[in-house]
Structure 1
Amino acid sequence: MRRYGKHTDEDDIRSRPNRKGNRPRSNIRPKHEDAVEGMILTVDRGRLTCLVEDRVVIAMKARELGRKAAVVGDRVGIVGDLSGEKDTLARIVRIEERKSVLRRTADDDDPYERVVVANADQLAIVTALADPEPRPRLIDRCIVAAYDGGLTPLLVLTKSDLASPDELLEKYGALGVPHIVTTRDEFVDGAAADRVYEHLRGRTTVFVGHSGVGKTTLVNALVPKDRRRSTGVVNAVTGRGRHTTTSALALPLSGKEGGWVIDTPGVRSFGLHHVDPSRVILAFPDLVPGTEGCPRACSHDEPDCALDEWVAEGHADPARLYSLRRLLATRERREGD
């Protein structure tokens, strides 16, 4: 065996080639200053379809992002092959800060929240007045999710030729949620889409609703013909619609003023385990000052809540407080109860 003394020259020492596993680790990550900004249109089994300028690019999430999920609506930094040609693949290296998020949990006792859509401006809750019957508890939950995530709710009621909307509208009158009432004939002649469009132009709107309420039919009337999705029918026995939309998809809104609509799969439940009452009440600016005297971590529906005295003194409409508490109560009761 060769021995090295104190007079050994470094040229006499043979260095071992670098092998996998003995490379020095570094916490420094590339900044990717050359990354191009894009928007995620849909996610499918690890492949993300993105809009980069005027091209559709398929990308995958870079390893350095870890477990952070990228969702429809995210603004992202992309590197690699951005040509958009067939069989090319780019990498998403950065997810920009989100201005809003629509979140849900699988159920109320599920602690794992899922971000459904990012950076949307409003949430259009599509509900049929009949066939299938409306589900006010589900509407409440969607409104809570909108308030919690920083979105403005919009109530779209369909099939008013089968049932009156008056009872449902009275229920949500104190909330001040904008609403649109449509008939089946208006879906056929395009009048429904025209009226809904007035609330969407220049904005990004997420459409949610129970299967069979006409959600995807309405979305198809709002987007270019080559972007339309398949639709289904309501089962005459169960009253349920068939899930024709299987993943969230962002589609450009027709018209010169721009905007996006994001169609989502039909929902049968909307878990609210993640919701914080302190975020929901921000959607009630007339009630917020009255919470200054509330105990810490007040649920706003307990004996020591300062809102009761605030309303009794005439600072706010009692119907507003009732509506807030009704919405917050949906966190404590399952959707089917």
Structure 2
Amino acid sequence: MILQTENLEQSFPVSGGRRVQVLNGVSISVNAGETLGVVGESGSGKTTLGRAVMRLSEPTGGRVFFEGRDVTHANSAHLRRILRRRAAMVFQNPSTSLNPFLKLVDALTEPLAVHRIGSRSERRQQAYDMLERVGLDRAQAERYPQELSGGQRQRVGVARALMLNPALVVADEPTASLDVSVQAQVVNLFQDLQRDLGLAYLFISHDLALVSHLSHRIAVMYLGRVVEIGPAAEVFDRPKHPYTVVLSSMRRPAGEQLTPGGDPPSLLSPPTGCAFHPRCPIARPVCSTTAPELTALAETKGHEVACHFPGDLELSGGLETAVAPPPPIPLEAVR
């Protein structure tokens, strides 16, 4: 196993001496050569999860294991020797993740220089080779990031992440700022690299359809918790949590997409019980008082759902079907 978290928590201080809880007991795992997609709307905690497992922030609870070693509170020397050599991150915005004052060759060789790998000429040769691997011409190595298109810059970001031959790549919304045609190119690049190099991905996105195309398994997050996790085909085609049903509908024509009622709750004052219950069309009294635990479904191996009534909301012919009694909160079609 490449990555594992156990009841991971992450909170941050806010004004008034309070703390906001962004991750609340998240447990996930990623195996060698596997892609775990993490999906959820803004504020769900998915980016914080990616930063926490990379130890760009120190978790306030739970544990993070990388290749079997506990790195939750590892010091900088330990992180540099283990995590920084074997894991890398691709950020959302390629325009800000690359130093505008460094030529591409210098940006790519920097990780090798920091870890004292190879001579200067060997590092440059590795940079040229990596540019070609991600579909760029080695002649572009002497250019600056602002001389490239958005898709080219993201390819450079991927190349930089691969310079140390990592086992795990955390990709945080790597296609969100790109045009649709360029998104497809970058997605294909990720798939080709995984096939050729055996990489494991933690792929973070708000787009369930994109994640299902890339992933072996999917974890759906809502307000800092994993509410559903399982094989990609099961989560995408046969979602059991009402929130996942809503996300799954986004692949349908505009008139058949579904949105939950109300606004997302604030992290400063999260709801009691199930965090989704104020917006859920099948919520019942128990949902507002008791938070459901992730529970394995008997019919599908590896499929877990945190819902008191899993599967009671289904999509049928483009419209929602409540198997339970009439919903107290309507699920409105986007028109």
TM-score, normalized by the shorter chain, greater than 0.5:
no
Structure (1 or 2) with the larger CA radius of gyration:
1
Structure with more helix by fraction: 2
TM-score, normalised to structure 2's length? 0.26
Give me the TM-score of the superposition, normalised by structure 1: 0.25
